[in-house]
Amino acid sequence: MDAYLANLVKELQVGRILSVQSYGTTAKKVRSSLTTYIQRYARQSGDPEWQKWKVWSNHQGLVVRDTATGQLGIAESTPERGAAITPWVDYERDIRSGKYKVRVYEVLGASSTAGAQAQSNWIAKVKGTFYDYLAYIRLTIKTLFIDLSDISPTNWFTSWLKSIGDRAAGWKWANWCTEGVGKAYVMDPPGIDIYQTPNPTPATHEQVAGELPRKPEKKTTLRLIEIPS
């Protein structure tokens, strides 16, 4: 474990994204519902092995570093604290205990300054905001039943439904985990649209890393960093 954590810390560069698998009841439900969504999409796309797809993560955060102290942290949005920076030592403790498993991703094509810009954006625009509980309604509909943005409008009602699906879910002034990370990068600079949707989820994160089935027009924007044990 010590060797793994030492190698992991080496890859925690500012602006990289930490993806988390945890084991609480809510975390398991999130992964289960997102897996339902991915399997439905794969089945509708004609994949004969649609049942093999599983969503690994239930949470994302941005790797940041305090410019004054040099201490690493994870900028994240959680129901318990809203948008706040968790010291890396807390994450390390939870990884050691088996509470968390994590993966690290880099943003493809990002400039050498993009990570620092994303950190600044997160601190300026996301930090301190409330957790976006209202978004759960739309995201639950999307994952378990239908993605409204996929509707082909044929009349005023279906056009209205699609317009709802194309808008960001929840409150404009609040954030859920993946949403906050996406906002930090899509702001210009660095102006990188990682998730290519206003409603990104952990499943979206894995789609744009090339790990799950996705729409043909969705680009690969993330790369998993392999961590030696």
Q: For residues 129 and 37, what is the distance between their CA atoms, to the nearest angstrom?
A: 28
**Count of structural domains, the chain:** 1
**Each residue's pLDDT tens digit, 95-122:** 999 999 999 999 999 999 999 999 999 9
Global pTM reads 0.92
Return the pLDDT at 170.
75
Q: Domain span at residue 216?
A: 2-225
Sign of CA dihedral 113, 114, 116, 120: positive
Domain CATH number, residue 45:
3.90.1720
Token representation of residue 126: 């996301």
Return the pLDDT at 68.
83
Q: Where are the alpha helices (DSSP H) in 62-166?
A: 88-97, 114-121, 135-144, 156-165
Beta carbons of 20 and 58 less than 8 angstroms apart: yes
Return the pLDDT at 135.
74
Tell me how many degrees the CA angle 156-193-29 measures, rounded to the nearest 5.
75
